[in-house]
């Protein structure tokens, strides 16, 4: 969702901010804008992509040592030039970029309207900048004090950067429940929604804490405060210089590149975690808390969207190996009830971005209730990672395509390694089985490469079905979440309506949907219940449904039941979801391309969902 990038120092800020905004594009957005300070303020805003903003600014004056940039994902008010950020106060004195939602904006707006203020946009963010301006002019305050007092009245969430054009030697940054980080270099600051656009300039950063704000000056000095204006000592964090590769490497989209990267990303995910010589899984953060894992009563896995699907697969694997009951919850549901957390319960939030607002709020609730929290996250140093007792990283590098692919397979893989590790600690797995699965994990990247060879066939299948309005995905056991994930991928990037179901549930209602127009993907890699699954497919075939089956190489499956059969290499049954997901990712990619959709930035979606 919204991305913030800012620069204050001695250099020209505009090129830094534009490049930063491009690195934040993955978060998802529908308009972009920049404000540049050079004696006076220049403001440029455009609906559409950063590239379009750049073209628009092309012939304009862009020099200035303070620049604020923003990519907006619309919440209040449609995506257009006027609603794009930065927003100005009515007199044009104060400029602001904002990520988050001002929940009491309507109250503040009617208050300001009663004082004679008028508004150009439909956004809650413009209300905030006007409210700061009202404090400033009514009580003759400097920007620091006006922002502090305004934030004291605000309900909701925010990460903001604010600039006073009459005192153009500094900016105010503030944060509550939305990410904001600033990097310190000699005489300059880089401000952003995450560290990715900063790490090539400086490795020393401050992740602003909730309910705090900072004043950054163009001579390199700064001060951090709480909302009582008590000075606080911020924690300096050293980040790694980014090794992330933002190029397409010849692919037509990041999604396709990321699908094809999965052999390497799984290798990275397992690096230093699989010790083949000793036949052991090494996860030091679990080892350091062996007692907690050994005496765990219950594990609660939390996530949203694709990460929730990974959690469902995780439940299956953990319960089958560790003899610990596992609950899986949507983070957005967990946080709005009274989840029962008892001593010795472990809460595991799963998140690619590490910034998903609902997952973060659920994690905070689990922390408050005294749970031991262990997050599985991709983005290093993200808010979820920093708020957990321990964290294991996916290590797959930046995922740019909005549809999660390589992060999903790494989440499932990490959950498998985690389950093996816990099972070993608890003694709930036989050594021979433990070693067998470790060997299968080691072979998995090679099998991913082999699975990718199905691309040609999957494209043919997509050519056959991309004009259909609906699709069904069926699986049983640990392939039920694979079916859910296949359906989610298809709907989010191709806009074909799709549903995932446990195959045996069809006869309890959904089978009424089956006719000759309904393609039905059946994930049939479960050896243990294959006969039952075949019976479920018979029922669909008898009603003229068109079946596309995903099965293991050499696995028997009646030829007359399926219009197409996609074969995936044989592996341990617990690892098969990783391989089975790949043809489904490819199918949604091809279907979306054939329908002319933007696979990397599907409509209405954001990569990092930082509003609730
Ligand atoms: C779908 C997708 C989303 C995310 C969800 C959670 O392809 O990417 O459903 O999985 O928004 O995001 P994270 O994992 O960043 O918490």
Instruction: Read off the pLDDT of residues 553-570 as tens digits, 9 standing for 90 and up.
Output: 988 888 889 999 999 999
**Residue 215 Cα to chain centre, angstroms:** 29
* pLDDT-wise least confident of 36-50, 360-374, 531-545: 531-545
Q: Is the pLDDT of residue 465 over 80?
A: yes
* pLDDT-wise least confident of 59-63, 101-105, 262-266: 59-63
Ramachandran angles phi, psi of 250, nearest 5°: 90, -10
Q: Is the pLDDT of residue 15 over 80?
A: yes
- Regarding the beta carbon of 305 and ligand 1, being less than 6 Å apart is answered yes
Ramachandran angles phi, psi of 197, nearest 5°: -85, -5
**Residue 589 Cα to chain centre, angstroms:** 19
- Regarding the beta carbon of 581 and ligand 1, being less than 6 Å apart is answered no
Q: Is the pLDDT of residue 360 over 90?
A: yes
Q: Which two tokens stand for residue 146?
A: 């006006």
- Closest listed residue to residue 412, CA positions, set 423, 402, 404, 424: 404
Residues 6+ apart with CB under 8 A from 212: 174, 175, 224, 225, 226, 227, 232, 234
pLDDT category, 337, cuts 50, 70, 90? Answer: confident
In a 3-state reduction of DSSP, which class is residue 559? helix
Question: Locate tokens 């990041």: which residue?
Answer: 254
- For the question of residue 304 being annotated catalytic, the response is no
Give, for ligand 1, the residue of 193, 609, 610 to mutate: max count of ligand atoms closer than 8 Å to Cβ.
Answer: 609
Residues 17 and 469: their CA atoms lie apart, in Å, by: 41
Q: Mean per-residue pLDDT for 544-556?
A: 91
Cα 350 to ligand 1 centre (Å)? 10
Cα 41 to ligand 1 centre (Å)? 37
- Residue of higher predicted confidence among 46 and 507: 46
Q: pLDDT per residue over 382-440, tens digit each?
A: 999 999 999 999 999 999 999 999 999 999 999 999 999 999 999 999 999 999 999 99
Q: What is the pLDDT of residue 278?
A: 93
Q: What is the pLDDT of residue 527?
A: 80
Q: Determine the straight-line distance between the first and last CA of the chain, rounded to whole angstroms.
A: 11
Q: What is the pLDDT of residue 606?
A: 76
Taking the CA of residue 350 as centre, how many other CA atoms within 13 Å lie in the half-sphere pointing to its CB?
32
| The model's pTM | 0.85
Q: What is the pLDDT of residue 325?
A: 97
| CA-proximal residue: ligand 1, atom 5 (nearest) | 305
Q: Is the pLDDT of residue 342 over 80?
A: yes
86 preceded by a cis bond (ω within 30 of 0): yes
Q: What is the pLDDT of residue 240?
A: 79
Q: Mean per-residue pLDDT for 268-289?
A: 96
Q: Which two tokens stand for residue 557?
A: 């499956």
Q: What is the pLDDT of residue 284?
A: 97
Which domains does the chain possess?
A: 3-238 (3.60.20.10), 254-594 (3.40.50.10490)
Residue 51, phi-psi category: left (phi > 0), alpha (psi -120 to 50), beta (remainder): alpha
Q: Which two tokens stand for residue 289?
A: 């808390």
Residues 6+ apart with CB under 8 A from 343: 297, 370
**Residue 95 Cα to chain centre, angstroms:** 29
For residue 326, the tally of other CB atoms under 10 A from its CB is 21
Q: pLDDT per residue over 481-532, tens digit each?
A: 999 999 999 999 999 999 999 988 988 988 888 999 999 999 999 887 888 8
Cα 491–Cα 497–Cα 503 angle in degrees, nearest 5: 95
| CA-proximal residue: ligand 1, atom 7 (nearest) | 403
Q: Is the pLDDT of residue 321 over 90?
A: yes
Residues 176 and 157: their CA atoms lie apart, in Å, by: 5
User: Residue 532 in contact with residue 499, Cβ under 8 Å?
Assistant: no
- Closest listed residue to residue 68, CA positions, set 6, 126, 12: 6
In a 3-state reduction of DSSP, which class is residue 272? coil
Atom of ligand 1 nearest to the CA of 304: 6
Q: Give kind and range of the element (H or E) at residue 313.
A: helix 305-322
Beta-bridge partners for 31: 47, 72
Residues 346 and 55: their CA atoms lie apart, in Å, by: 51
Residues 207 and 192: their CA atoms lie apart, in Å, by: 10
Q: What is the pLDDT of residue 610?
A: 74
* pLDDT-wise least confident of 136-145, 257-266, 541-550, 576-585: 541-550
- Residue of higher predicted confidence among 76 and 464: 464
Question: What is the crossing angle of helices 124-139 and 143-153, to 10°?
Answer: 130
- Regarding the beta carbon of 71 and ligand 1, being less than 6 Å apart is answered no
**Residue 10 Cα to chain centre, angstroms:** 34
Q: Is the pLDDT of residue 607 over 80?
A: no
Residues 322 and 97: their CA atoms lie apart, in Å, by: 48
Cα 474 to ligand 1 centre (Å)? 21
Q: What is the DSSP string of 287-301?
A: HTTHHHHHT--EEEE
| CA-proximal residue: ligand 1, atom 8 (nearest) | 404
Give, for ligand 1, the residue of 400, 401, 404, 601 to mutate: max count of ligand atoms closer than 8 Å to Cβ.
Answer: 404
Atom of ligand 1 nearest to the CA of 356: 16
User: Residue 190 in contact with residue 201, Cβ under 8 Å?
Assistant: yes
Q: Is the pLDDT of residue 39 over 90?
A: no
Residues 258 and 422: their CA atoms lie apart, in Å, by: 30
In a 3-state reduction of DSSP, which class is residue 236? coil
Q: Mean per-residue pLDDT for 249-271?
A: 95
Q: Mean per-residue pLDDT for 25-42?
A: 91
- Regarding the beta carbon of 404 and ligand 1, being less than 6 Å apart is answered yes
Q: What is the pLDDT of residue 558?
A: 86
| CA-proximal residue: ligand 1, atom 10 (nearest) | 306
Q: What is the length of the chain?
A: 612
228 preceded by a cis bond (ω within 30 of 0): no
Residues 241 and 239: their CA atoms lie apart, in Å, by: 6
Residue 588 exposed, middle or buried by CB count within 10 Å (0-12, 13-18, 19+)? buried
Q: Is the pLDDT of residue 322 over 90?
A: yes
CA distances from 511 to 99, 122, 236, 263, 473 (A): 44, 45, 58, 37, 12
Residues 119 and 125: their CA atoms lie apart, in Å, by: 11
**Residue 24 Cα to chain centre, angstroms:** 12
- Regarding the beta carbon of 100 and ligand 1, being less than 6 Å apart is answered no
Q: What is the pLDDT of residue 526?
A: 82
Atom of ligand 1 nearest to the CA of 608: 15
- Regarding the beta carbon of 307 and ligand 1, being less than 6 Å apart is answered yes
* pLDDT-wise least confident of 187-196, 440-449, 452-461, 599-608: 599-608
Q: Percent helix, strand and coil across the chain, each rounded to 5?
A: 40, 25, 35
For the chain, the maximum distance between any two Cα atoms, rounded to a whole number of angstroms, is: 81
Beta-bridge partners for 40: 38
- Closest listed residue to residue 373, CA positions, set 402, 341, 346, 406: 346
Q: Is the pLDDT of residue 244 over 80?
A: no
Q: What is the pLDDT of residue 239?
A: 85
Cα 338 to ligand 1 centre (Å)? 24
Q: What percent of the chain has pLDDT over 70?
A: 100
Cα 263 to ligand 1 centre (Å)? 21
Q: Is the pLDDT of residue 1 over 80?
A: no
Residues 6+ apart with CB under 8 A from 574: 316, 317, 320, 321, 416, 437, 478
Mean residue pLDDT of the chain comes to 94
Cα 475–Cα 569–Cα 472 angle in degrees, nearest 5: 25
Q: What is the pLDDT of residue 25?
A: 86
Q: Mean per-residue pLDDT for 569-575?
A: 96
């Amino acid at each position: 969702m919204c991305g913030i990038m800012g620069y204050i120092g001695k250099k020209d800020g505009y090129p830094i901010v534009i490049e930063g905004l491009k690195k934040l594009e993955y978060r998802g957005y529908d308009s972009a804008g920049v404000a540049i300070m050079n004696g006076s303020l220049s403001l440029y805003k455009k609906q559409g992509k950063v590239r379009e903003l750049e073209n628009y600014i092309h012939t304009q004056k862009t020099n200035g040592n303070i620049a604020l940039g923003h990519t907006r994902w619309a919440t209040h008010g449609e995506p257009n030039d006027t609603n794009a950020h930065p927003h100005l106060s009515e007199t044009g004195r104060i400029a602001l970029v904002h990520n988050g939602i001002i929940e009491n904006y309507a109250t503040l707006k009617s208050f300001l309207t009663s004082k004679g203020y008028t508004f150009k946009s439909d956004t809650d963010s413009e209300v905030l900048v006007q409210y700061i301006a009202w404090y400033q002019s009514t009580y003759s305050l400097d920007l620091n004090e006006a922002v502090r007092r305004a934030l004291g009245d605000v309900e909701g969430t925010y990460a903001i950067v604010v600039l006073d054009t009459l005192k153009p030697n500094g900016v105010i940054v503030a944060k509550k429940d939305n990410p904001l980080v600033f990097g310190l270099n000699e005489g300059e600051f880089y401000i952003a929604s995450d560290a990715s656009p900063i790490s090539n300039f400086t490795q020393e950063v401050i992740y602003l804490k909730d309910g705090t704000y900072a004043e950054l000056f163009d001579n390199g000095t700064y001060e951090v405060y709480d909302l009582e204006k008590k000075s606080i000592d911020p924690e300096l964090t050293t980040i790694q210089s980014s090794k992330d590769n933002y190029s397409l490497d010849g692919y037509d989209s990041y999604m396709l590149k990321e699908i094809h990267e999965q052999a390497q990303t799984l290798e990275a995910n397992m690096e230093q975690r699989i010790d083949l010589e000793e036949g052991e899984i090494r996860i030091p953060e679990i080892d350091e808390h062996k007692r907690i894992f050994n005496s765990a009563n219950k594990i609660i896995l939390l996530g949203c969207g694709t990460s929730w699907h990974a959690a469902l697969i995780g439940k299956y694997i953990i319960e089958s190996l560790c003899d610990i009951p596992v609950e899986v919850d949507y983070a957005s549901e967990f946080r709005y009830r009274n989840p029962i957390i008892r001593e010795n319960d472990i809460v595991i939030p799963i998140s690619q971005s590490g910034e998903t607002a609902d997952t973060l709020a659920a994690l905070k609730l689990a922390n408050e209730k005294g749970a031991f929290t262990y997050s599985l996250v991709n983005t290093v140093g993200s808010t979820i990672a920093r708020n957990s007792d321990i964290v294991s990283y996916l290590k797959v590098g930046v995922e740019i395509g909005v549809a999660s692919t390589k992060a999903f397979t790494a989440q499932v893989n990490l959950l498998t390694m985690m389950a093996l590790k816990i099972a070993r600690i608890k003694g709930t797995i036989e050594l021979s089985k433990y070693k067998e699965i470790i060997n299968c994990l080691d072979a998995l990247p090679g099998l991913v490469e082999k699975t990718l060879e199905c691309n040609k066939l999957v494209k043919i299948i997509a050519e056959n079905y991309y004009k259909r309005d609906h699709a069904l995905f069926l699986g049983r056991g640990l392939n039920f979440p694979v079916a859910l994930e296949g359906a989610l991928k298809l709907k989010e990037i191709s806009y074909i309506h799709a549903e995932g179901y446990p195959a045996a549930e069809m006869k309890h209602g959904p089978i009424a949907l089956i006719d000759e127009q309904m393609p039905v993907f059946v994930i049939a890699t479960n050896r243990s219940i294959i006969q039952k699954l075949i019976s479920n497919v018979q029922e669909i075939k008898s009603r003229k449904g068109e079946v596309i089956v995903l099965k293991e190489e050499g696995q028997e499956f009646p030829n007359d039941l399926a219009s197409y059969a996609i074969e995936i290499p044989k592996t341990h049954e617990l690892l098969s979801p990783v391989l089975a997901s790949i043809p489904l990712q490819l199918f949604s990619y091809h279907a979306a391309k054939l329908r002319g959709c933007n696979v990397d930035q599907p409509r209405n979606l954001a990569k990092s969902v930082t509003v609730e």
